Amino acid sequence: MEKYDVIVIGGGLLGCFTARALTRYRLKLALLEAREDVCTGISRANTAIIYSGADTKPGSLKSEMCVRSAQTFANLCSQLGVRYSPCGSLMISFGPRGEEVLGKKMAQGKANGVRGLALLSREEVLSIEPNVSPAVTAGLFAPEAGTVIPWELGIAAAENALHNGAEFQFNSAVTRIEKVPDGYVLEAGGRPFHARGIINCAGLYADGLHEMVAKPSVRIYPEAGDYYILDTKASGVIRHIIFHEPEEKGKGLTLVPTVDGNILLGPSKIPSGEKNDAFPTSKEGLEWLCGLAEQVIPSLPMEHVIRSFGAVRPNPFYVRHDPDTGLLHRDDKGISDFILHETDGAPNFLSFIGIKTPGLTCALELGLYAADRMAALLGNLQPNDAFNPNNPAPLRLKELSEEARAQRVREKPSYGRIVCRCRGISEGEIIDSIHHSIGAKTVDGVKRRTGAGSGRCQGGFCTQRIIEILSQELGIPVCDIQKDRPGSKVIGGKDHG
């Protein structure tokens, strides 16, 4: 049986950053991930915003982490070789109720230490965002908000953790955890593992894993959401992240000008009750998005929608066991702050259960928090003096000058063969993505690493070629190449060569 000091369960943003933070110590560490890749859960279906910290309650751990994260995010991205757009955010109101909310967020943000917040008049809003509806009445500008590509960040953190000594075990769903005198024995992917300490970062399923060693105390009650992505043809319609504060009680629309030049709209809020990590969309939610988009940005070219996707919020609630009825009772109010759960009967077992927004913004901080807590629990850990926080950025030919690109093509002709015409991604970059330290194994894995297939045609022209490249580089038949999760083969039937 493989023995480790610490095992991290789950390779989403939290798991990857926790593993990276643990490599600052000298210990034997593994991350067990159920799927074939990192960042296939909540970390790939969210709003991609780096929040300034004006939205969170003063004095909370969430606020403290969020403000610090926003102020240092550009630095983290340059360390990890990840692209970041520090575009700022603008919360807009359409009447007295919204204006009151803006005023409250301004005061809250100031109390939290958010820098550069400014209340704007209607005219000031329209001067920086001319396509917002003329019915707008005021705005709250937060210059330190921004946007990132969540999986690009997660993959970079995972690769950095790997280079610093963490092991990654994919296709290793943890199905059993048993407390033993010197730690825990886990079964994952049909194999046994032993660890002195465990950090549970299993996203939507973190409550179930926690209950393998502890009585139910926190449960996740999921809620669905929907998003639209507009093609880069709509780029420039908005310049900042826009948070719409509606006059009637309820959720407003969020619009994000993404790092790749698309516009992301969403999420809707749909009661679901299902932990469906296939993230289906709902007609109701998508219609709600269209209706609000028309009110907030009337000229938003919805004919340029290229994709919709669903998301699931892992809402955490405390639960209590009623000895009379034998049923679990859920608190009325959900848990709003970040909590790293520990249980008396399960020493050195830490769980992040129901970490929602701003979990992406705070992934680095949450990882450090969990790693340092585990180090304190295990005691006597030595620092890893060889820890290197930097991760080389992958080659992105589009970012090079024409001359530098030509030089690359001379060195490796596959950089000159464009596979994804919408995004201008070459065969060489796709091959690189497959051979990276945590490389792509599926069509979507290639998409997450290179952007190939994420443009206007959504892979209509390039998917076949990407499958051929995956088949050739991984040495597996084209018929066995999956789009995404196991069971999502793109080509049916038998391979006749």
Ligand X SMILES: Cc1cc2nc3c(=O)[nH]c(=O)nc-3n(C[C@H](O)[C@H](O)[C@H](O)COP(=O)(O)OP(=O)(O)OC[C@H]3O[C@@H](n4cnc5c(N)ncnc54)[C@H](O)[C@@H]3O)c2cc1C
List residues near ligand X by CB under 6 A.
9-15, 32-35, 40-43, 46-49, 51, 173-174, 201-205, 209, 225, 267, 311, 313, 355-361
- How far apart are CB 44 and ligand X at their closest, in Å? 7
Q: Which residue has the tokens 């992040």?
A: 352
- How far apart are CB 402 and ligand X at their closest, in Å? 35
Q: Which is nearer to ligand X, 351 or 463 (CB)?
A: 351
- How far apart are CB 364 and ligand X at their closest, in Å? 11
- How far apart are CB 263 and ligand X at their closest, in Å? 14
Residues 272 and 288: beta-carbon distance below 8 Å: no
- How far apart are CB 429 and ligand X at their closest, in Å? 24
The span from the CA of 182 to the CA of 352, in Å, is: 23
Q: Which is nearer to ligand X, 298 or 486 (CB)?
A: 486
Q: Mention every residue, 6+ apart, whose C-beta is less than 8 A from residue 497.
A: none
Q: Which is nearer to ligand X, 94 or 227 (CB)?
A: 227
Q: Which is nearer to ligand X, 258 or 426 (CB)?
A: 258
Q: Which is nearer to ligand X, 40 or 391 (CB)?
A: 40
The number of CA neighbours under 13 Å toward the Cβ of 327 is: 3
Q: Which is nearer to ligand X, 46 or 272 (CB)?
A: 46
Q: Which is nearer to ligand X, 220 or 425 (CB)?
A: 220
- How far apart are CB 56 and ligand X at their closest, in Å? 11
Q: Which is nearer to ligand X, 225 or 439 (CB)?
A: 225
- How far apart are CB 27 and ligand X at their closest, in Å? 20
Q: Which is nearer to ligand X, 254 or 454 (CB)?
A: 254
CB atoms within 10 A of CB 412: 14
Q: Which is nearer to ligand X, 32 or 419 (CB)?
A: 32
Residues 434 and 400: beta-carbon distance below 8 Å: no
Rounded (10°) CA dihedral 398, 402, 407, 412 = 40
- How far apart are CB 327 and ligand X at their closest, in Å? 25
- How far apart are CB 422 and ligand X at their closest, in Å? 25
- How far apart are CB 16 and ligand X at their closest, in Å? 8
Q: Which is nearer to ligand X, 9 or 375 (CB)?
A: 9
Q: Give the strand pairing for 146-148 and 84-85.
A: antiparallel
Q: Give the strand pairing for 191-200 and 2-9.
A: parallel
- How far apart are CB 220 and ligand X at their closest, in Å? 10
